[in-house]
A and B are shown apart, each in its own frame.
Chain A
Amino acid sequence: MLFQKRTERIFIWVFFPLALMMPLFLEQNTFYVSKLTTIMIFAIFVMSLDYLVGRCGLITLGHAMFYGLGGYIFVMIAPEYDAVNFWIYTFYICAISALIALVIGFLVLRTSGIYMIMITLAFAQMTFYFFSDSIEFGGNDGVFIYVKPDTSLFGISMFDLDNPIHFYYLCLLSLFNTLFFFRLVTRSRFGRVIDAIHENPGRTTALGYNVFVFRLMAYVMASALGAYAGYLFTMQYGFVNPSMLSWQTSGSALVMSILGGLGTLYGAILGTVVYEGLHYVLEHMTEHWLLFMGALIILMVILFKNGIAGYLEKLLEKRS
C-alpha cells in the first residue's frame, strides 16, 4: 500500500472527496472557489518545501524563489498574445527551474544548518531585487498575462482555464498528484537513502553514499514542484509580481509546513488549509488579525508537538 499510515489514508478519503464536492456547494460564489484554488496551489508549494525541510533536513528560507521563478519563467518564454499549451509549458517550466535549482543547489548544498538558511535567503533576495528593479519585468507591479494557456492534450481539451471551476479541479488534481508523487518518492529506494541521510549523514557517507548528489536530486525535485505551484498561481491571477519571491512567502510556507507537521507531506495540506482558514476568519473579525494569528500559531505549535498531522496520528494510530 502506497499510503502506509492509517491517518494519511483517512485524511485522503476525507479531504479529497470533500474538495471534489466543494464547487457544488459554492457554485454561486466564484470568490470562494478562487480562494480555495489559491489554497490548493499554495499547498503544493508548502508540500514541496515540507519535503525539503522535513524529509531531507535541508532548511531553506529561499524556497519562494522557485515559486516566483515559476511565474517569471512563464512570462519570459510564452508569447504575449498567443495561447500556449498548458502541458508543454508545464514541462518547460519544471525543466528550466530544475536546471536553475541544479546550479543553485550545487552552491547552496555545500553548506548546512544556519549557513544554508542564510545562503538560500541570499539567493532568494537577489532574485527578488533583480525582478523588482527590472523595468522589463514591470518592477514592483510585475507582468500581466493576457491569454490563458489551453489545456488540450492529443486534441482533447480537458480544462477551460478561464472557468474558475475548471481551474479549481486542475489545481486539486495537481495537489493530489504532488502528494502521490512525493509518497512514491519517499517509499522508493531513493527515498530510503534520503531518510538515512536525514537521520545520520555521517553514517550514510561511511556506507558509501555520495550524500551531496542525493541532496542535490531532492533539492532539484522540490524546486521544480515549487515552480510548478508558482506557475499555477500566475495562471490563476493572470499576473506575476516580485512579492511571490519575497522571503515572507518562504516564511509563511515554512510556518504552514511546521503547523501541519514537518515531513508528513499530507500535513502540508492541513497546515495550509488551517493557516489560510484562520487568516480569512480573523481578517474579517479584526484589523489586528496578525496579532491573534501569531498567538494562535504559538498555541498550536505548543499543543501539537508534531503539528496537526502529528496530533491526528497520535489519536488515530493508537486505536488501530
Chain B
Amino acid sequence: MNTHVILKTEGLCKYWGGLRALDDISLTFHDRQLHGVVGPNGAGKSTLLNLLCGHYKPTSGKIIHEGEPIDAIKPWAFARRGIGRSFQKTNIYPSATCLENCCIAAQRRMGGSFNFLRSRHHQTVLEELATNALEKVGLAKRRDQVAAHISYGEQRQLEIAMVLATSPCVLLLDEPMAGMGHEESLLIIDLLKRLKQEYCIVLVEHDMDAIFELSDQLTVMVDGQHLTTGSVEQVREDPRVREAYLGQGDEVY
C-alpha cells in the first residue's frame, strides 16, 4: 500500500474504569481507500470510531492526522480538520429540510457563522454546496422535504450527505446500513463505492456481504484487541479469524 496515509493511530487505548474497551490499537488509514472494521458485538468498533472523531478522549496512545498528533484537541476541532462522521443511530435535524440539514454542515466549512446579518450571496453559495452534497448521495429529489418525513434509508443517506457538505477528507461511518432493507443497502454500497474513490473511509458494519465487497483493507477486532488487518482475501483465509470471530462453524456468514 503506497498511497498517502491520512490518519494513523499508535497504541490507542480506552478504558472505562477497569474495562478495556480498546487495547493497544495501531492502524493506518489511507487516502482513497475504504478501511473496513469488523468484529463481534463489544469488540470495540464503535469505541474506535468515537476515538477517531474525538467524541471520546483516549486513555493512552496517539491519533495522528496528516503527521500531527490530534488526540488532545476538542471534539469540534476534529471535524474542522476534515474528519467527519456518521452515527450508528441516525443523527440529523429532523425538523429541517434536507437542504437545510446540508446547509448547516456546509456553513461550518464556509465560515461566517458569527455573522449576525443575512447575506443573499452567501446563501446562494451555501445552497449550491448543499445541493451538490445531496446529489452525490442521490437525494436531490428530496431537497425540500422535511428530514423527519423521508424514509429511514434516506435519512441515513442524508446523514452521509451532511458529512460530505463539510468537505471532509476522512469519513467515519458507523453502520450506515444498520436496519436497512436489501434494496436500500444496495444503494448505500453503490454510494460508498463511488465515495471511496475520493475519500478515505473507515467503515464499521455488520453486513458481511457489504464489507467484503467494499473493503480495500479489513481489520478484525475481538474484545477490544486488534486481531488482524489485511486485504479481504487475507482476512478470509486467516484461521484465527474463523476461530475467534466466526466460531467453529463452516459457514462464513
**Which A residues form the contact surface with B (CB < 8 A)?**
184-185, 187-193, 196, 199-200, 202-211, 214, 217
A76 to B166, CA, bound (A): 48
- Nearest-neighbor residue (CB-CB) of B119 within chain A: A189
Is there contact, CB below 8 Å, between A188 and B118?
yes
Report chain B residues within 8 Å CB of A189.
Answer: 107, 112-115, 118-119, 122
Most chain B Cβ neighbours within 10 Å, of A200, A203, A204? A203
Query: With an 8 A cutoff between CB atoms, is B75 at the interface?
Result: yes
- Contact partner of A208 (CB less than 8 A), chosen from B79, B87, B92, is B79
Is there contact, CB below 8 Å, between B104 and A193?
yes
Is there contact, CB below 8 Å, between A199 and B96?
yes
A-B contact pairs, 8 of them (CB 8 A): A189-B114, A189-B119, A190-B114, A192-B103, A196-B93, A207-B105, A208-B80, A210-B74
Is there contact, CB below 8 Å, between A203 and B118?
no
Task: For the complex of A and B, list the 7 residue pairs with the smallest distance between their C-beta atoms, beginning with the closest.
Answer: A208-B79, A208-B80, A208-B108, A203-B91, A210-B76, A196-B104, A188-B116
Report chain B residues within 8 Å CB of A214.
Answer: 113
Nearest-Cβ distance from residue B159 to partner chain A, whole angstroms: 9
Report chain A residues within 8 Å CB of B87.
Answer: 203, 206
Is there contact, CB below 8 Å, between B76 and A205?
yes
Is there contact, CB below 8 Å, between B93 and A206?
no
Is there contact, CB below 8 Å, between B113 and A199?
no
A255 to B135, CA, bound (A): 45
Other contacts beyond A199-B93, A208-B79: 11, CB < 8 A: A185-B116, A192-B107, A196-B93, A203-B87, A203-B93, A206-B53, A206-B55, A207-B84, A207-B108, A208-B108, A208-B166
Report chain A residues within 8 Å CB of B80.
Answer: 208
Query: With an 8 A cutoff between CB atoms, is B85 at the interface?
Result: yes
Report chain B residues within 8 Å CB of A206.
Answer: 53, 55, 75, 79, 84-85, 87, 91
**Which B residues form the contact surface with A (CB < 8 A)?**
53, 55, 74-80, 84-85, 87, 91-96, 100, 103-105, 107-109, 112-119, 122, 162, 166
Is there contact, CB below 8 Å, between A188 and B115?
yes
Is there contact, CB below 8 Å, between A199 and B118?
no
Nearest-Cβ distance from residue B247 to partner chain A, whole angstroms: 35
Nearest-Cβ distance from residue B87 to partner chain A, whole angstroms: 8
A188 to B80, CA, bound (A): 21
Report chain A residues within 8 Å CB of B92.
Answer: 200, 203
Secondary structure type dominating chain A contacts: helix
Report chain A residues within 8 Å CB of B104.
Answer: 192-193, 196, 204, 207
Nearest-Cβ distance from residue B105 to partner chain A, whole angstroms: 5
Is there contact, CB below 8 Å, between B95 and A199?
yes
Nearest-Cβ distance from residue B98 to partner chain A, whole angstroms: 14
A207 to B163, CA, bound (A): 7
A63 to B80, CA, bound (A): 34
- Nearest-neighbor residue (CB-CB) of A194 within chain B: B113
Nearest-Cβ distance from residue B126 to partner chain A, whole angstroms: 8
- Nearest-neighbor residue (CB-CB) of A192 within chain B: B104
- Nearest-neighbor residue (CB-CB) of B168 within chain A: A208
Report chain A residues within 8 Å CB of B119.
Answer: 189
Report chain B residues within 8 Å CB of A187.
Answer: 118
- Nearest-neighbor residue (CB-CB) of A181 within chain B: B116
Is there contact, CB below 8 Å, between B166 and A190?
no
Nearest-Cβ distance from residue A199 to partner chain B, whole angstroms: 5
Given A199-B96, A200-B93, A184 and B117 touching (CB < 8 A)? yes
Given A184-B117, A190-B115, A211 and B76 touching (CB < 8 A)? yes
Given A199-B93, A206-B53, A207-B105, A190 and B116 touching (CB < 8 A)? yes
Is there contact, CB below 8 Å, between B105 and A190?
no
Report chain B residues within 8 Å CB of A210.
Answer: 74, 76
A192 to B116, CA, bound (A): 10
A119 to B50, CA, bound (A): 30
A188 to B104, CA, bound (A): 12
Report chain B residues within 8 Å CB of A193.
Answer: 104, 107, 113
Is there contact, CB below 8 Å, between A190 and B118?
no
Is there contact, CB below 8 Å, between A207 and B91?
no
Is there contact, CB below 8 Å, between B91 and A200?
yes
Most chain B Cβ neighbours within 10 Å, of A191, A207, A209, A211? A207
- Nearest-neighbor residue (CB-CB) of A187 within chain B: B118
A199 to B76, CA, bound (A): 17
Report chain B residues within 8 Å CB of A184.
Answer: 116-118
A211 to B74, CA, bound (A): 11
- Nearest-neighbor residue (CB-CB) of A204 within chain B: B104
Report chain A residues within 8 Å CB of B94.
Answer: 199
Report chain B residues within 8 Å CB of A188.
Answer: 115-118
Nearest-Cβ distance from residue A182 to partner chain B, whole angstroms: 11
Nearest-Cβ distance from residue B145 to partner chain A, whole angstroms: 17
Report chain A residues within 8 Å CB of B113.
Answer: 189-190, 193, 209, 214
Report chain B residues within 8 Å CB of A208.
Answer: 76-80, 108-109, 166
A267 to B115, CA, bound (A): 25
